[in-house]
Structure 1
Amino acid sequence: MSKPQVTILVAVWNTAAYLPQCLESLRRQTLRDIQVVCVDDASTDESLAVLRHYADLDERIQVVALPKNQGQAHARNVALRQAKGEFVCFLDSDDWMADDCLEQAVCVFRAHPSTDSVLFHTLYYYNESRQDEFSMKPFDVLRGDEAFVLSLTWKIHGVYMVRATIHERYPYDESARAFSDDNTTRLHYLASREVRTCQGTYYYRQRQTSVSHQFNLRRFDYLVANQSMKRQLVALRVADDVLNLYENHRWLNVVDMYMLWFKHRTSLSTFAQRRALALIRDSWRSMEGQRIKPSLRRKVGYMPCKGHWRLFMLQENGYFFLRKLMGRL
C-alpha cells in the first residue's frame, strides 16, 4: 500500500454489534488512500473476529490485539504508533462517517496550508428519528490558542482530524481510563496554527451503556483527567488568563462531582463511595483558590474553604440537602 493521506485510529472494546457499520463506512470513503488501524482492547465478545474478517477483506485495515484491557487512550496510542498518514483522526468503534467525510477534511487542509486541525460536522445519533447537531457557533477559522480556550468549556467539540506531526508530539493522555482524551484534543488545538471546520459528517452514537451515561466510580476519572490537564498547562507555561479560565472550569467540575456523589452515593459500594470522595478531596486540595473568581468564592456551595476539608463537606452537604428539599436536585 502506498503512503496513505489519512490514518484512522479505531479503539475497540466489546462493540461487535456496531463494528460492521463503522468499518463499512471507512471502506466506502471517497478518499481511497487511507490506513485504518484497529486495536482490540481485549474484548470479550466477537469484536476481534469481526476485525480480522474485515482485515481479510481490505488490505487498508490493520488489526492489533492487546492481551489485556487498558482503556481507550492506551489502545489509541498503540494505533498511533502504527500511523503512516499525513493526517490522523479517530473513529470510535460504535460510530461511523459519511462517505465523503475524510475527503472533505483533507480538502480543507489542502486549500489552507496553515491549517493544522479540522473539525468534522458532528451529529449525535440517538436513533433513526433523532439526530442532533452539535451546537457550536459557526466559524471560518480560529487561531490555535482561540480554539484551545473554546475547547476548555467545549464551546467547540473534539471530533477532528489533525496533522500527524502534532499528534506524534502529543499522544493520548493515559492519566485516566476515561475522559483524559479531552486533554489531548485541547493540546492539539493549542499547537495548531489554524483550526477550521469541514462539511464531512461524523455520526456520534449515543448509548446509555457508555461511561458518560452511567453512574459508577469511573465517572470520577473526570477529576483525574482535569488534574492532568492542569499539570500540562502549567508545564506549557500558558498565559495566566488561560490558566485562570481552566481553574474556574475545574472548580465547577469539583462541585458538580460532589453533587453527583451526594445524590447517587448510595448506589455505590462502600469502597467506591470512599474512593470517589477521596478523588474529590484530591482535586479540592489541588485547587489554586486565588485563581477562582471572587463571585464564585463568595457563593454558598462554591466557597473553596481551603485547608478545611470538613468545613467544605459541611457546606456541600448542607447546600445540596437544601436543593433537594426545594426539588432542585
Structure 2
Amino acid sequence: MQDLPLISVITTYYNSVQLGDFVQSSMNCLLHQTYKNIEFVCVNDGSTDSTLAELKVFAKHDSRIKIYTKENQKYAQYSKAYGQEKASGKFIFLFDHDDVIDPDTVEKCYQTFLEHPNLDIVTPIVVTQFTDGKIKSINNIYDEDSLDKKFEYKEFSGKQIIHDTVGRYDIHIRGLYRAKTFKSHSFSFTEPLLNADEIVERLIFEEASMIGNCNAVYTHFIHPDSSAKKLSIKKIDLVRTDVLLRNIFKEKNIYEDRKSIFEFVAYKNLVNAIKIFHHFSHEMLPEERQIQFNRIKNSYKNLDKNEVKTQFEGLSKAYNSILLSNFSFLFLYYRFKK
C-alpha cells in the first residue's frame, strides 16, 4: 500500500440522513473500495440533522475518514471548494453523497493512469438511473452505451471536451483527476450561483491535456424529490450563468461552432426564469425582486435573438419571433400564461 499514491475522495454532505440515509449508503460504498490508500474527505456542509453524528460513527472505525464541518453558505460550490482545499492526495475523486460506485471503480481509474500516463482525468462509465431502478442512460464519455457492450478505450483533449459542453453537456465525465488539474480552478467561484460548479468544471476540463475512460462504473441517481427538481428562486441563476458562459466561450473561441445550441438552451432558461420570477414574486423583498428582474432583462439583452429564431419553423417561428421582439411583452406574456 505504501507504494500506491494517496487518492482523495471528496464527498459533500448536507442533511444527508434526512434526504435519504445517504451517509450509510455512501460510506458503505466508499469503504469497500479495492484501492486502499484513500483518504475520505467528508465535508459536512452545516447539516441540521444527524449527518455529522453518523459520519463520526464511521470515522471511529476507519482512520481514513476525515470530517470537516463548515457553515452552510446555501450554494454547493463552497462545500466543494472546501473539500478541494483539504484534499492532500496525488489524485482526487469527486463523489456525490447520493450516488454509488462499484467496489473497483477507484482502482480501475488509477490503473488506467498507469497504462496511459498522458492522461489528466480518467472517467468511468456513467450510468444515470432513476430511484425506481429504471436506467435513463449509460454513457462512455460521449456515446450512449450498454454495459453488455465490449468496452472501448477512448481519449480526448481537454480542449475538445470543453468545446462539447457549449450549450449543453454532450459529454459525461466523472471520476479521477490528477490533483494539479482538479485544483487548477477553485470551485469557490467569483459569485454564488446554483450551478457555478458547472462553470468551474468546464475550466478544469480545459486544463487537462488528455481525458480517457475505463470500464469501471459510476451510478448517478436521479431523485424525483431532489432540490434540483424543485421549483426554486435559485433557478433564476441559470440566466446569469448563461451570460457568464457566453462570454467565456467567446473568449476561448469555441462559441461559434455551437452557437445555435447555446442560444436555444439560453432561451429556454430565460423563459423558465421569467415563469419562476412571477411564481415567487410575492415572496421576494423589493430589493431581491429588482435584482432578479435585472438578471432576467440582462439575459434577454445578451440573447442572440436572431439565432434563436432560426431554431423554429412555421407557426412556431412566428409565435416565438413575436415573443422575442420585445422584452416587456415577453415578460408580461409569461406572467399571465399558465
TM-score by length of 1: 0.82
**2:236 corresponds to which letter in structure 1?**
F
Alignment counterpart, residue 223 of structure 1, candidates 218, 232, 239? 239
Instruction: State the alpha-carbon separation in 2 of the partners of residues 282 and 116 from structure 1.
Output: 37
Give the Cα–Cα distance (whole angstroms) in 1 for the partners of residues 169 and 327 of structure 2: 28
Secondary structure of the corresponding residue to residue 186 of structure 2: coil
Cα RMSD between the aligned structures? 3.2
Deviation (angstroms), 1:265: 5.5
Match of 1:314 among 319, 325, 329: 329
Counterpart CA distance in 1 for 2:257 and 2:296 is 20
Q: Against the structure 1 CA distance between its residues 243 and 261, is the aligned structure 2 distance closer, same or farther, given a 3 Å change threshold?
A: closer
Equivalent AA in structure 2 for residue 162 of structure 1: Y
How far did residue 149 of structure 1 move? Answer: 1.3
Equivalences, count: 315
Give 1:47 shift: 0.7
Decide which of 213, 236, 257 is 1:197's aligned counterpart.
213
CA shift digits 1:71-99 (9 cap, x unpaired): 21111111111111111121111112110
Task: Give the C-alpha shift of residue 31 in structure 1.
Answer: 0.7
Distance 1:108 1:129 in 2: 29
- Structure-2 residue corresponding to 1:80: 84
In 2, are the aligned partners of 1:289 and 1:304 still within 8 Å (CA)? no
Letter aligned with residue 177 of structure 2: V
Matches within 5 A, 1:87-236: 87-127=91-131, 129-135=133-139, 136-137=142-143, 140-152=154-166, 153-174=168-189, 175-233=191-249
In 2, distance between residues paired with 1:207 and 1:94?
Answer: 9
Secondary structure at the aligned position of 2:96 is classed as: coil
* Native 8 Å contact 1:261 1:277 kept in 2: no
Q: Which runs of 4+ in 1 moved over 6 A?
A: none
2:14 equivalent in structure 1: 13
Equivalent residue, structure 2, for 1:252: 264
CA, structure 1 residues 253+230, in 2 after alignment: closer, same or farther (shift >3 Å)?
same
Mark the CA change 1:79 to 1:319 in structure 2 (over 3 Å): closer, same or farther. closer
Report deviation, 1:159. Answer: 1.9
CA gap 1:211/1:226 in 2 versus in 1, 3 angstroms? farther
Q: Tell me the distance in 2 between the aligned counterparts of 1:244 and 1:12.
A: 38
Q: Report the secondary structure of 1:212's partner residue.
A: coil
Per-residue deviation, 1:264? 5.6
Identity %: 18
| CA positional deviation for 1:295 | 3.0
Write the mapping of 1:283-302 to structure 2, written as runs, cut at 5 A: 283-287=299-303, 292=307, 295=310, 299-300=317-318
**How far apart are the structure 1 equivalents of 2:124 and 2:182?**
17
- Residue deviations 1:106-158 (CA, integer Å, cap 9, x gap): 11111111111122211223235323334532771111111111222211124
Give the TM-score, by structure 2 length: 0.80
Contact 2:165 2:202 in 1 (8 A): yes
Where does the alignment leave 5 or more consecutive residues of structure 2 unmatched? 145-151
Looking at structure 1, the residues matched to 45 and 114 of structure 2 have their Cα atoms a distance apart, in angstroms, of: 34
2:242 and 2:266 in contact (8 A); partners too: no
Displacement of 1:286 in angstroms is 3.9
The corresponding residue for 2:72 is 68
Post-superposition shift, 1:48? 0.7
1:51 equivalent in alignment to 2:55: yes
